[in-house]
Structure 1
Amino acid sequence: MNHPASQDTACLSFPYVDLLYDYGQFLRNADQAIGNLPAHTAEKHIGIVGAGLTGLVAAYELLRAGARRVTLFEAEESHIGGRLLTQCFDEEQPQFIAEMGAMRFPPSEVGLFHYLNKFGIQTTEAFPDPGVVDTELHYRGEAHHWAAMQPPPALFSTVHQGWNAFLREGAVLDDGTSLAPPLLLTELLKQHNYCEVQPEWQRYLDCFGDSSFYSAMVRIFTSKNPPGGKVWRKPEDFHLFGSLGIGSGGFQSVYRASFTEILRLVVNALEVNQRLVPNGISSLAELIAETRFNGMQLRDMICRTRIESINKGPDGQILLAGSNGETYACDRVITTTTTRALQVNLKLTQNQAFVNRDVARAINETHMVGSSKLFILTRDKFWLKHGLAQNIQTDTLVKGVYCLDYAPQDPDSWGVVLISYTWEDDSHKMVSMTDKVQRCLRLVDELAMSAPEFARHLIPLNGDYQRYVLEYDWLTDKHALGAFKLNFPGDDIYSERLFYQFRTALDPRQDTGLYLAGCGASFTGGWAEGSIQTALNAACSVISSLGGDLIDGNPLDGLVPQYRYC
């Protein structure tokens, strides 16, 4: 069933654990605008580097606040939306799509759902994640059936029960430290009970801020009293858990990531009730861009050039050098690119004119994940016709397989299969196969070893591999240089430095007129909500820095650091 992403289906309010601030409430209070610019500064030139979701939302809110001269600089020649990247298989049948970037949207993304609702964009009830639909888990050459909404196969029962016991009951470490149940923290956040959340999350940061996901799991589940009551075997149970994951697929490839980075996804309810946008998430970018201000569409404010450097002008303006040979003088600038692009493409950290040394280090050292996807358009929804699994998770080259139904009202319509969704080392293997046809054939051949009946249906419509196979490698995207931020152990301090950089607008001695935004500058890299949050932060900073007024409860005034990350 499809329905609008409305207040009936999305959380109206959900403050994230690192922020303890409610963007949902702020946006509801900002029905008219987040603030207003006085007439004498409304003509100041505001430059926004990047016309992805962050840049578009920041521009939209600044224009609503009275800004009259906003320019978005976009390196892509035709696409807008950044890593909201929906590709269409067939122009005559535009409903059959491949989401190359963001594709799963949990309602705890209150800022995102605010804009989905505002622009009338629909979502489906659920994304076909493992266990949500009929699933097969392929482990060490054997296929294990996992019925929809049921416990996983018996082989995985120890790790499944242990992980869920940890979520519900917390854990007691061997040194006596008691850790609160992550799901309790989620409930406390829903209640805005910050006084109880803050010390419990700080305890997690103190215990595991320097731990990888894998090492923290070993510490918790090989303790004397592990959650679920059963000590996990090394390495067998940890291999099983790596294949099972925490709700949206196997997490083996990110075992080296920070444990707190993974746990905040759980506490922030980002791994449950994930939804799909049938018309493609790029539709949000397009609809924002069609909004009219001062007699012109927002899309007409986009300048198609790649910004190659940012410098201070002699009169205090910020000079953006474009790849077209032009230099653009701006009074305030918001950057929305990835941290890698800030360092490599924009050269932002070459001097301290705009960011201090701590922020520069955070930009340079923040880890970004590689991610690859390959989709195929099939002549029918074979998984429904033949009673096959709609999701397959493997420990082979293929990794995650997702069957997507973009025409649920038509049982005879085409099908879309995401054959391989991979991260990190698994993605790097995909990058080595540069020909998409050969990559597709190699993946199907690999899948046929454990799921031959499923694999034999993986033939593109009309046998046309060039037209009906689509793939993308974010690591080789010359503008992004990676898919999304995912901290290594000990690096949460980088997220704090990047996220709170916007507060320099409060101090004239620190205010350089440039503000960082984008999901890479948030605590939730890879999630659209991080883009929304930082867009709003940066827009508020611009308004304040230019002498404007903000509505009460805005993030510039109400959002302050809450934790010790080092």
Structure 2
Amino acid sequence: MTLPPLTAFGPDFTFAHDDWLAHPAGLGSVPKDVLGTEVAVIGAGAAGIVAAYELMKIGLKPVIYEAARFGGRLRSEVFDGTGFEGRAPVIAEMGGMRFPVSSAGFYHYLDLMGLETRAFPNPLTKAAGSTVVDLEGETIFARELSDLPRLYQEISDAYLRALDEGGAFTELQTAIRAKDAARVKSLWNPIVAAWDERTFYDFVTSSEAFQALSFRHREVFGQVGFGTGGWDSDFPNSMLEILRVNLLGFDDDQRYVVGGVESLLRRLWLAEPPCAHWSEGTSLASLHGGATRSRVTKISRKSTEGSLNICDQWGNEGAYDAVLVTCQSHLLTTAMDVDENLFAQPLWMALDRTRYMQAAKTFVMVDRPFWTDTDPQTGRPVMSMTLTDRITRGTYFFDNGPDQPAAICLSYSWMTDALKLLPLSDEKRVDLALKSLKKIYPNVDVARHIRGVPKCISWEADENFLGAFKGALPGHYRYNHRVYSHFMQQDMPPEQRGIFLAGDSVSWTPAWVEGAVQTGLNAVWGIVAHLGGASDPANPGPGDVYDVQGPVALEG
């Protein structure tokens, strides 16, 4: 029997955003006298652009504010000198770079904009070709899991058993595939109560499957892991966060966007879909005169039920009946002057307690995909996708074709490994990465192939992000519940209505763009409802079913 495809259905809020998007009735409508109303959208990342695109189609006028660079953490940087005369650009994906096919909402927009995806070169995948695992000075070459020592298969088997023991994994994933909301909730809600205050590491070490194995197994699991790499940076996180990643298939069947993922948001910006109210040929770009507004410095409200006032960095002010905030939550206290009474104090607590993961990437452009050259002594490629406990942690190769310039992500690291690089120059980061890789590949001179200047990033050093993505700690479920449910405003006091939240800070699945897409769509429903509109009865929206299918509330 062929199973239904796995999509990001729940498990906390069991609503099929992809089905809502695909329905011919659309996402809703607003009263005629509201058509053309301006709605402020703070942030031109995935959540902001998706929401603005859908609000425009409904007949509202999004006014997008962006503090720095269009695209948010979907940031595709093109190496200088490439992409000319029909040749493929050499891309460094500084933010999101691998997108699981279970992200059905995100892929809805990729397909709509006609973008091509290809298999991401994750370890032990056909796309990678080959993988080298370098751990404690021992280097192992493999093309698939069975090529690795038995210990690695034991780790993989143990983790799958642990997921079934402690997370009802097989049953839950079957219910998620079937989009059986009631069954998902009946299985997931008890897990929330049982695992909210326990870490990923606790889950691993307390499982019967891993207790039967050695510390060495847990150590290798943390350093090298499975799927996309090591998991030790996530060991302190709430196990609920890891379970969601596994249940929704976010660590499996990942693809990258040809030409750079940022191109999706740029195409949505320029797209001219059929819209209520707006004339044919209207786009987000045309509504903005070709450019977004500038950085927001203040959000205020003069009266209890009056419009919300936005002030940008140049002192320009605007009044809006609704505002969507998609930036990282910490910016509401570090970068903007926000009236405290716009949010309830428990919500402020949740926003301020959001914990962000550090992440660093180091990319270089090379003259050609030399890593595919054959080593005459071994008969293997001279280099492979590399997982290591050294400072580089993960090294990935991106091929534009034989004898064409290509890209190497020399290093992708998180948390402590990322912080080691924080004060260093780009050149020093490359130097450290090359020295690390030289110990794994002593006969390969990577430096002689490098062209141009490197591209590096530490997201925690960017004042407009202060971190790469949310990483919930044990006990954070209640905080996440508060911010996620904020689009449901019918029971809020008037002074707190009209300002909405979306994006990674709000999502149950941080670090995955599907969460930004889904929260952006939730906010679209909330804004439409706030302005007196509604979903089509034939296509109920997220707020229409939230009371029944929404996240479980924990006591206390």
TM-score by length of 2: 0.90
Is residue 2:217 matched to residue 1:237?
A: yes
Correspondence for 1:5: none
Decide whether the 8 Å contact of 1:33 with 1:64 is kept in 2. Answer: no
Q: Structure 1 residues 346, 11: closer, same or farther in 2, change over 3 A?
A: farther
SS at match of 1:431: coil
Correspondence for 1:415: 406
Correspondence for 1:361: 349
Correspondence for 1:298: 284
Decide whether the 8 Å contact of 2:14 with 2:181 is kept in 1. Answer: yes
The one-letter code of the counterpart of 1:400 is G
Cα offsets for 1:117-154 (capped at 9, x unmatched)? 11111111x21111213111111111122223646333
Q: Whole-Å Cα distance in 2 between the matches of residues 459 and 489 of structure 1?
A: 47
Q: Whole-Å Cα distance in 2 between the matches of residues 142 and 524 of structure 1?
A: 34
Which residue of 491, 500, 503 corresponds with 2:476? 491
Moved more, 89-98 or 373-382: 89-98
Correspondence for 1:474: 459
Is residue 2:186 matched to residue 1:166?
A: no
Correspondence for 2:267: 287
1:365-514 mapped onto 2 (5 Å cutoff)? 365-386=353-374, 387-405=381-399, 407=400, 410-433=401-424, 435-454=425-444, 456-462=445-451, 464=452, 466=453, 469-505=454-490, 509=494, 512-514=497-499
The one-letter code of the counterpart of 1:202 is N
Which residue of 181, 185, 193 corresponds with 2:172? 185
Which residue of 520, 524, 530 corresponds with 1:545? 530
Decide whether the 8 Å contact of 1:11 with 1:107 is kept in 2. Answer: no
Decide whether the 8 Å contact of 1:379 with 1:413 is kept in 2. Answer: yes
Which residue of 307, 326, 332 corresponds with 2:296? 307
Is residue 2:198 matched to residue 1:211?
A: yes
SS at match of 1:303: coil
Give the superposition deviation at 1:565. Answer: 4.2
Paired positions, count:
525
1:324-339 mapped onto 2 (5 Å cutoff)? 324-339=314-329
Percent identity over the alignment?
26
Give the superposition deviation at 1:205. Answer: 2.1
Q: Whole-Å Cα distance in 2 between the matches of residues 137 and 232 of structure 1?
A: 21
Q: Structure 1 residues 325, 191: closer, same or farther in 2, change over 3 A?
A: same
Decide whether the 8 Å contact of 2:13 with 2:551 is kept in 1. Answer: yes
Q: Whole-Å Cα distance in 2 between the matches of residues 279 and 183 of structure 1?
A: 36
Cα offsets for 1:446-479 (capped at 9, x unmatched)? 221223245x2244544x4x3xx11111111111
Q: Whole-Å Cα distance in 2 between the matches of residues 149 and 237 of structure 1?
A: 15
Q: Whole-Å Cα distance in 1 between the matches of residues 473 and 177 of structure 2?
A: 28
Q: Structure 1 residues 183, 89: closer, same or farther in 2, change over 3 A?
A: farther
Which residue of 223, 227, 234 corresponds with 1:247? 227
Is residue 2:183 matched to residue 1:202?
A: no
Q: Whole-Å Cα distance in 2 between the matches of residues 322 and 195 of structure 1?
A: 45
Which residue of 239, 242, 250 corresponds with 1:259? 239
Indicate the RMSD between aligned Cα atoms, in angstroms. Answer: 2.1
Moved more, 396-405 or 32-41: 32-41
SS at match of 1:520: coil
Q: Structure 1 residues 116, 32: closer, same or farther in 2, change over 3 A?
A: farther
Which residue of 3, 24, 34 corresponds with 2:18? 24
1:105-184 mapped onto 2 (5 Å cutoff)? 105-124=99-118, 126-132=119-125, 133=128, 134-148=130-144, 150=146, 152-167=148-163, 170-171=164-165, 179-184=166-171
Which residue of 48, 55, 78 corresponds with 1:55? 48
Q: Whole-Å Cα distance in 2 between the matches of residues 440 and 139 of structure 1?
A: 21
Give the superposition deviation at 1:95. Answer: 2.2
The one-letter code of the counterpart of 1:153 is P
Cα offsets for 1:152-187 (capped at 9, x unmatched)? 3334333222113334xx12xxxxxxx354243112
Give the superposition deviation at 1:519. Answer: 1.9
SS at match of 2:416: helix
Q: Whole-Å Cα distance in 2 between the matches of residues 343 and 186 of structure 1?
A: 38
Q: Whole-Å Cα distance in 2 between the matches of residues 424 and 180 of structure 1?
A: 26
| Gaps in structure 2 of 5+ consecutive residues | 273-277, 375-380
Q: Whole-Å Cα distance in 1 between the matches of residues 192 and 321 of structure 2?
A: 39
Which residue of 29, 32, 37 corresponds with 1:44? 37
SS at match of 2:411: strand
Cα offsets for 1:488-544 (capped at 9, x unmatched)? 111122211111100014667575110001121110111111111111111111111
The one-letter code of the counterpart of 2:259 is N
Decide whether the 8 Å contact of 1:343 with 1:363 is kept in 2. Answer: no
Give the superposition deviation at 1:429. Answer: 0.9
SS at match of 1:447: helix
TM-score by length of 1: 0.88
Give the superposition deviation at 1:206. Answer: 2.6
Moved more, 46-55 or 238-247: 238-247
Give the superposition deviation at 1:562. Answer: 3.2
Q: Structure 1 residues 453, 212: closer, same or farther in 2, change over 3 A?
A: farther
Decide whether the 8 Å contact of 1:152 with 1:160 is kept in 2. Answer: no
Q: Whole-Å Cα distance in 2 between the matches of residues 268 and 12 of structure 1?
A: 7
Q: Whole-Å Cα distance in 2 between the matches of residues 49 and 505 of structure 1?
A: 22
Decide whether the 8 Å contact of 2:162 with 2:204 is kept in 1. Answer: no
Q: Whole-Å Cα distance in 2 between the matches of residues 272 and 565 of structure 1?
A: 30
Correspondence for 2:28: 35
Decide whether the 8 Å contact of 2:36 with 2:59 is kept in 1. Answer: no
Give the superposition deviation at 1:238. Answer: 1.6
SS at match of 1:529: helix
Give the superposition deviation at 1:557. Answer: 0.8
Q: Structure 1 residues 246, 341: closer, same or farther in 2, change over 3 A?
A: farther
The one-letter code of the counterpart of 2:187 is E
Q: Whole-Å Cα distance in 1 between the matches of residues 520 and 81 of structure 2?
A: 32
The one-letter code of the counterpart of 1:97 is I
The one-letter code of the counterpart of 1:339 is S
The one-letter code of the counterpart of 2:46 is L
SS at match of 1:411: coil
Which residue of 316, 338, 341 corresponds with 2:331? 341
Is residue 2:64 matched to residue 1:72?
A: yes
